[in-house]
């Protein structure tokens, strides 16, 4: 657990997965234990156990101690989102069952029933099942399985709640130990780098507030794709003759054209309100949000 | 650190359970208790590895 929190030049993403490696190791040890118990139960010669009251009291204690401990450890593990702690608490619950079986076997022995071997084999099954679950969970994280569906949905909602987000292209994430790494691609209604940066920072803060134990959020932001282009043409008159001058032109013809098929969506002719201004008259067209400006020699808008 | 503290608690509990079951297994000769001792010892090793890993 100590090692898993270290980060170095060689391991810039941290060593969080050490916790999952430990969980897989515990699973393999559980399989080994199960094998040992089964081998003894099947191959060992018949033995009659000697049962004394202090032994029964000891077995009861060995069931109660892990029961109480696992309750508090499981709660702490879930609060800390630690797979190692949760795995340990689950392992203690196996002890509660197995100690209960041991107690039943010893009591039965007192009553003349020999179920010692059967109890041992049932312990093997319990141990094997828990081992498989630990192995499966640990391997999923080690192989970079996706974050669970609920967590991904929560992240989607947080991103889409940002006003500047036009579209969430994709979102994904993975676990490493108790920590989470999140990646997303979004289209923003932001043209400037400063605004895009501010939006992604806000998005990262919101994700960290909504989802616990997030180590890193990586957001690829791209501007909303432009679907229309606005053209401006300086005009001499309302009939639509192109002017030889730009800033001094008395009128501007403005047209909005859809990029995908070139269809003209709207056209209008407006008077140039800055025709009498000595300088920067041409800026009018730019202030109108024109993508392209047509000059002399171009008599028609693109079709 | 909270998680680290639980690791040490786990080692203590496993030591206690291992010793308790070892004493019972040695005195009773029960296979089920002996198997439980192996189970406890494996858990103790796992707890130590988990805390020092």
Query: A229 forms bridges with which residues in the sheet?
Result: A257
| Nearest residue on chain A to B35, alpha-carbon basis | A37
Asked whether the beta carbons of residue A2 and residue B4 sit closer than 8 angstroms, the reply is: yes
Instruction: Note the pTM of the prediction, 2 decimals.
Output: 0.58
Query: A214 forms bridges with which residues in the sheet?
Result: A180
User: Which tops the pLDDT comparison, A148 or A259?
Assistant: A148
Write down the domain spans for chain B: 2-52
CA distance A82 to A73: 10
Interface membership of B24 toward A (CB under 8 Å): yes
- A116's CB contacts (< 8 A; 6+ apart) are A47, A49, A105, A109, B30, B31, B32
Domains parsed from chain A with CATH numbers: 3-142 (1.20.1510.10), 149-223 (3.30.70.1350), 228-293 (3.30.420.130)
The pLDDT tens digits for A122-157 are 877 877 877 888 888 889 889 988 999 999 999 999
Query: A167 forms bridges with which residues in the sheet?
Result: A187
Q: Which of B1, B7, B20 sits opposite A61 (nearest CB)?
A: B20
Q: Residue A275 has what pLDDT?
A: 74
Q: Residue A278 has what pLDDT?
A: 67
Average pLDDT taken over every residue of chain A: 83
Contact indicator for A180, A151 with CB cutoff of 8 Å: yes
pLDDT at A211 exceeding the cut of 50: yes
Q: Residue A56 has what pLDDT?
A: 93
pLDDT at A212 exceeding the cut of 50: yes
Q: Residue A121 has what pLDDT?
A: 86
CA distance A100 to A39: 21
Which residues of chain A are within 8 Å of residue B39 when distances are taken between CB atoms?
Answer: 33, 37, 94-95, 98, 123, 127
Return the residue in A28, A39, A59, A128 with the most chain B beta carbons within 10 A, the one to mutate for interface testing: A59
User: Which tops the pLDDT comparison, A147 or A247?
Assistant: A147
At A183, is the pLDDT very low, low, confident or very high (cuts 50, 70, 90)?
very high
Contact indicator for A50, B28 with CB cutoff of 8 Å: yes
| Nearest residue on chain B to A106, alpha-carbon basis | B30
ipTM, 2 decimals? Answer: 0.90
Asked whether the beta carbons of residue A2 and residue B21 sit closer than 8 angstroms, the reply is: no
Query: Which has the minimum average pLDDT: A73-77, A184-188, A283-287?
Result: A283-287
What does the angle CA A267 – CA A272 – CA A276 come to, to the nearest 5 degrees?
Answer: 175
| Nearest residue on chain B to A102, alpha-carbon basis | B32
- Express as a percent the part of chain A with pLDDT over 90: 27
How many cross-chain Cβ pairs, A to B, lie less than 8 Å apart? 144
């Amino acid at each position: 657990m100590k090692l898993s929190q270290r980060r170095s030049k060689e391991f810039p993403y941290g060593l969080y997965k050490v916790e999952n490696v430990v969980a897989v190791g515990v699973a393999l040890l559980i399989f080994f234990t199960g094998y040992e118990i089964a081998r003894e139960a099947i191959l060992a010669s018949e033995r009659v156990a000697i049962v004394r009251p202090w032994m029964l009291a000891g077995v009861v204690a060995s069931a109660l101690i892990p029961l109480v401990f696992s309750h508090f450890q499981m709660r702490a593990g879930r609060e800390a989102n630690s797979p190692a702690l949760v795995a340990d608490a689950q392992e203690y619950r196996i002890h509660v069952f197995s100690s209960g079986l041991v107690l039943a076997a010893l009591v039965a022995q007192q009553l003349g029933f020999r179920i010692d071997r059967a109890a041992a084999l049932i312990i093997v099954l319990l141990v094997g099942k828990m081992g498989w679950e630990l192995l499966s969970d640990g391997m999923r994280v080690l192989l970079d399985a996706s974050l669970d569906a609920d967590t991904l949905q929560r992240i989607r909602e947080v991103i889409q709640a940002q006003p500047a987000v036009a579209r969430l292209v994709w979102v994904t994430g993975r676990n490493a130990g108790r920590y989470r790494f999140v990646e997303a691609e979004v289209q923003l209604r932001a043209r400037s780098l400063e605004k895009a940066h501010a939006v992604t920072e806000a998005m990262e803060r919101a994700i960290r507030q909504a989802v616990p134990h997030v180590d890193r959020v990586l957001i690829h932001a791209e501007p909303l794709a432009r679907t229309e282009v606005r053209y401006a043409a300086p005009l001499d008159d309302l009939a639509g003759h192109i002017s030889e001058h730009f800033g001094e032109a008395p009128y501007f013809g403005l047209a909005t054209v859809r990029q995908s098929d070139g269809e003209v969506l709207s056209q209008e002719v407006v008077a140039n309100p800055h025709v009498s201004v000595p300088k920067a008259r041409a800026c009018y067209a730019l202030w109108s949000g024109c993508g392209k400006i047509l000059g002399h020699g171009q008599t028609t808008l693109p079709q | 650190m909270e998680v680290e503290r639980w690791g040490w608690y786990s080692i203590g509990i496993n030591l206690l359970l291992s010793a308790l079951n070892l004493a019972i297994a040695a005195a009773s000769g029960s296979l089920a208790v002996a198997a439980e001792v192996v189970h406890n010892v494996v858990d103790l090793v796992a707890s130590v590895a988990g805390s020092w890993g």
